[in-house]
Structure 1
Amino acid sequence: MRARRRWLVATATAATLVLGGCAAVSDTSDISTSGAAPATREVPDGTGVWDADTVHEISVEVDDDAVAAMVDTYQETGEKDWIEATVTIDGETYDRVGLRLKGNSSLRGVTDDADPTELPWLLRLDEFVEGQSVDGSRELVVRSNSSATALNEAVALDLLAEAGLASEHAVASSFSVNGADARLRLVVQNLDEDWEAENFAGEGLLYKAEAGGDWSYRGDDPDAYTDVFDQETGEDDLTPLISFLDFVNTSSDEDFAAELPDRLDIASFARYLAFEELVDNFDDIDGPGNNSYLRYDVATGAFTVVAWDHNLAFGGSPGGGPGGGFPGGGDGERPEGMPTDRPTELPSGMPDGMRPGGGGPGGGSNVLVERFTAVDEWADLVEDAKADLAAELYDSGYAEEVLDRWSALLTEQAGDLVDAATVQEEADAIRSSIAG
């Protein structure tokens, strides 16, 4: 039976971390190791389409010409148009489902002859049919991964949940488009209104950092942030986000240290940074993909950094690379028509002197991360959290249990999609990373 996810309430997480570190006092302010904590919810294991104990069947029927036009539009403009599709999920058919490309580096260099069964997709059941959903969910993300099993992301998401941080339900699927041979694909929740309501209590606004953007302050005109952050939930309002970016970029060191705990969930952010380092995911908030969300809690007036995109966890490579995505796994081949290059160029149109939030290839240039870790007490908090997580997730044997469960699922239920030897090889690569 699948081990139950243990989601920690943010206030409890904060208390644990505060006890693990010591607050230091500067000449001008108390440096707090605690901060505003949002009203998070305890999330049980998924059911229905999110039951992770089974390999789900998802098939898509869509007009080939519509797909070709969609790819052409993306190649020419970068826009991701919605098209209509008929989608069957575990035997239940849904008409007029919204279908569009999902991803950034995973779509880099995508060609007209790309196999639709291999592309990364966002399925939105209610895009054209109001109220349409599956087991309470309206959106499903079909993830890309340069490994054959996507075990690295599946394991990372379960560990993220166990770490007490907001994660997504993830399931293995047999996925096909227009009757092509099915492929093993990991399907996860999209961070939308349904996800937010499941993970957080109270009113909030969710902002997604765009891959081509950065975390610079661009003034108080919301239009200046159009290609930088995208609001995912709530009534359109960038005011809290703009105010936060203004503070992060322009505050003095003294004010930053004194006031950030009132503006950000310090404890969970430290734990987030520690977690991403522990699972060796370079493509996080300060990686080349600028992967992160900011969730604003209306009641507390504070933000929480929310993790997103773990298909490069445990040393995964966007270009496949040796071992098909992470050391030792798979055959290293990418599907025909899919990109094989790691991003090497910074987005155009950046402010002078600024790098994107991810800092370009290799990351390391997010202004919030840089200023946060420049405060000794908070840098120590990250190190304390890393030690705590290593004990909780790795030394305890929990990560091994998660890996074994996912491996057994694929071996027992997905033998027609991936051979047992590949599952074992890729699992062993992750096991070596866990063992350190």
Structure 2
Amino acid sequence: MTNPAHDPAPLPRRARTRRLRSTAAGAGALALAASLTACTASAEAGENGDGFFDTSTVHSISVEYDEADYQEMLDTFAETGDKDWIEATVTIDGEEYDDVGLRLKGNSSLRGLGGENTDTAPQPDEGDGTVSADDPAGLPWLIRLDKYVDGQEHDGRADYVVRGNNSETSLNEAVALKVLELSDVQAEQASYARFSVNGSDEQLRLVLDLPDDDLWNEDNYPDEGITYKADSAGDWTYRGTDAADYVDAFEAEYDSTGGTDDEAYAPLIEFLDFVNNSTDEEFAEQLGDYLDVDAFARYLAAQDLVANQDDIDGPGNNAYLHYDVATGLMTVVAWDQNLSYGGLGGGGSFGGGPMGEAGARPEGGPGDAEAGEGMEPPEGMEPPDGVELPENLDGADGTTQGGAGRGGGMGGGMGGGDNALVTRFLADDDFAAAYESATQELTASVYESGDTQEYLDDLAAMLTDEASDLVDADTIASEAEDLSAQLTGSEDQQTDSASAATE
């Protein structure tokens, strides 16, 4: 953490946490000038609806770096588990950017590369578990345009995440992000890109923006605030009043207040103190003073709608927290949806659609089937020491992992732990009712309206038209059909989706 005594003038969070490296004056000026020109063109394109996150087309990203830097980065990761940055030239939709930061992104998705951080308890892969150093175009990457050139951006974003997935089309994550958008749940944007590295063959990849990015925060939260990233190995426990005790559980990725690190962590510490240590009566009466309760009910409901088994209380602890200074309220930001819909694995390992009252699927809703279907744990899966799987994991009695009617693998199975906020929220009758109401309302507005199916059909048709040289049309149709079955449970809808992908 930054020592305020050595930091007499508070710096913007970007300067404090990213430690931008200075470049030679001449080269830096030229790079910045080129960046500003590209950004102007990108902004104009975005205003015309042709920006990078336009999902009506497949975009392009190519990366070039020194092979020796790449090998050194791999060696460091294998030896220590650290993900070092290397410099690269990145071209996005024809706009070239020099002196770009590039590093590996992910945790379980990188287990195929080795490294100390890969010897962990069993948990779902972010990707398909087959990543290889010999196929860098298939690795999950973080591209940071402003890592070494301050102000360098493309279409109003500096950070781009090239995602891993266990499907060939990544349709599950793309559609899940659309569901979150339709549910008014804060999350990321995504689009498809042809991705290549050092002249390699192109691969179809889903690319996201990132809540680490100052520009993402400025767009989504124009008022003063702080955004924290929950670490995959951390938890939501109260650890006392010392900010240093929280840095391994939450990282303050964005802070527009200009305060010290201790000041940045103060709202988080106060929030976790309340969540963990308040009485049940205090929790029920005062939670609304700390948390946007309606937004959190929608977040929980939407994560169930997409059957995500790896969210706030899943094995990856995937979430951000945003603190709004003006309201004093926290909001959970959704992150990491590539295990949604079971990763297109045939209905989801521990779910497969939204859950209604008492854990039963709404009649005629997504995945209209018995609640227990497709919910057995993977064959041979053993929980880590000290973790017991819930008795009703198989859903035979209509309940699901996590209890309280939550679907999508919630509640800390497969290596995850109970999240105090989720557990206490759902244990309170009024908050649980708000969650159940949000689930029913979103089921109707997001799924029964046909909006999600229409979006899936459009994506499948677009990928077939523009990317069937990267993923064959039959695979696109098959994965779209699998996903459609989870959205609607209707054979007619499945057929329509498959037809859209092949037309």
Match of 2:431 in 1: 378
* Equivalent position SS for 1:247: helix
The answer as to whether partners of 1:60 and 1:88 remain within 8 angstroms in 2 is yes
The answer to whether structure 1 residue 420 and structure 2 residue 423 are counterparts is no
Question: What letter corresponds to residue 486 of structure 2 in structure 1?
Answer: S
Match of 1:221 in 2: 242
Percent of residue pairs identical: 54
Distance of 2:305 and 2:383 partners within structure 1: 25
Question: What letter corresponds to residue 468 of structure 2 in structure 1?
Answer: G
Match of 2:299 in 1: 272
1:398 shift after superposition: 0.7
How many residue pairs end up in the alignment?
A: 369
Correspondence list, 1:221-300, <5 A: 221-234=242-255, 235=258, 236=261, 237-300=264-327
The answer as to whether partners of 1:73 and 1:79 remain within 8 angstroms in 2 is yes
Question: What letter corresponds to residue 90 of structure 2 in structure 1?
Answer: V
Correspondence list, 1:17-416, <5 A: 47-111=50-114, 113-191=133-211, 192-234=213-255, 235=258, 236=261, 237-316=264-343, 345=384, 359=412, 361=414, 363=416, 365-416=418-469
The answer as to whether partners of 2:342 and 2:348 remain within 8 angstroms in 1 is no
The answer as to whether partners of 2:341 and 2:348 remain within 8 angstroms in 1 is no
* Equivalent position SS for 2:138: coil
Question: What letter corresponds to residue 99 of structure 1 in structure 2?
Answer: L
Distance of 2:107 and 2:419 partners within structure 1: 18
Distance of 1:435 and 1:382 partners within structure 2: 21
Q: Which structure features the higher share of helix residues?
A: 2
* Equivalent position SS for 1:108: helix
1:359 shift after superposition: 3.3
1:225 shift after superposition: 1.3
Question: What letter corresponds to residue 273 of structure 2 in structure 1?
Answer: D
Distance of 1:147 and 1:249 partners within structure 2: 38
Distance of 1:375 and 1:401 partners within structure 2: 36
1:129 shift after superposition: 1.1
Question: What letter corresponds to residue 445 of structure 2 in structure 1?
Answer: E
Distance of 2:343 and 2:204 partners within structure 1: 17
> What per-residue deviation string (whole Å, max 9, x for no partner) do you get for residues 256-289 of structure 1?
1111111000001011101111111111111100
Distance of 1:108 and 1:417 partners within structure 2: 25
The answer as to whether partners of 1:290 and 1:358 remain within 8 angstroms in 2 is no
Distance of 1:360 and 1:240 partners within structure 2: 29
Distance of 1:399 and 1:364 partners within structure 2: 31
Question: What letter corresponds to residue 284 of structure 2 in structure 1?
Answer: A
Distance of 2:89 and 2:133 partners within structure 1: 22
Question: What letter corresponds to residue 460 of structure 2 in structure 1?
Answer: S
Q: Cα–Cα, structure 1 residues 258 and 165, in superposed 2: closer, same or farther, change >3 Å?
A: same
Q: Cα–Cα, structure 1 residues 107 and 231, in superposed 2: closer, same or farther, change >3 Å?
A: same
Q: Cα–Cα, structure 1 residues 93 and 135, in superposed 2: closer, same or farther, change >3 Å?
A: same
Task: Indicate the RMSD between aligned Cα atoms, in angstroms.
Answer: 2.6
Question: What letter corresponds to residue 141 of structure 1 in structure 2?
Answer: V
* Equivalent position SS for 2:457: helix
Larger Rg: 2
Question: What letter corresponds to residue 239 of structure 2 in structure 1?
Answer: R
Distance of 1:226 and 1:114 partners within structure 2: 34
Match of 2:392 in 1: none
Question: What letter corresponds to residue 160 of structure 1 in structure 2?
Answer: L
* Equivalent position SS for 2:136: coil
Q: Cα–Cα, structure 1 residues 46 and 242, in superposed 2: closer, same or farther, change >3 Å?
A: farther
The answer as to whether partners of 2:101 and 2:147 remain within 8 angstroms in 1 is yes
Any gaps of 5 or more consecutive residues in structure 1?
Answer: 1-42, 328-340, 348-356
Higher relative contact order (CA 8 A, sep 6+): 1
1:380 shift after superposition: 1.3
Any gaps of 5 or more consecutive residues in structure 2?
Answer: 1-45, 115-131, 353-379, 387-409, 490-503
1:71 shift after superposition: 2.3
The answer as to whether partners of 2:347 and 2:486 remain within 8 angstroms in 1 is no
The answer to whether structure 1 residue 435 and structure 2 residue 488 are counterparts is yes
The answer as to whether partners of 1:288 and 1:343 remain within 8 angstroms in 2 is no
